[in-house]
Amino acid sequence: MTIVARITATRDFIEECADELSKVTWPDRAQLKSATLVVIAFVFLISAIIFVMDRASGFVIGLIMGFFNA
């Protein structure tokens, strides 16, 4: 592929990307804020669940290790 052909292909690709992006329905500020809050809340929820599971498994492993005097 020649340099001119590569430049032409790149230009066509960028133009097609711009055309596709113009078709996108972008969220308004309220929708964006709402979705962001949902994601943050979900991250905190999952973090709390993982924290509890980590503490519980550590406790159980500690009991088992204590049982065998390890």
Predicted pLDDT at 46:
98
* Domains of the chain: total: 1
Distance of alpha carbon 40 from alpha carbon 47, whole angstroms? 11
Residue 25, phi-psi category: left (phi > 0), alpha (psi -120 to 50), beta (remainder) = beta
Predicted pLDDT at 1:
74
pLDDT digits (tens, 9 = 90+) for 1-60: 799 999 999 999 999 999 999 999 999 999 999 999 999 999 999 999 999 999 999 999
Predicted pLDDT at 47:
98
Q: Tell me if 64 sits within 8 A of 57, measured CB to CB.
A: no
pTM of the model: 0.64
How confident is residue 69, by pLDDT bands cut at 50, 70 and 90? confident
The domain of 40 spans: 3-67
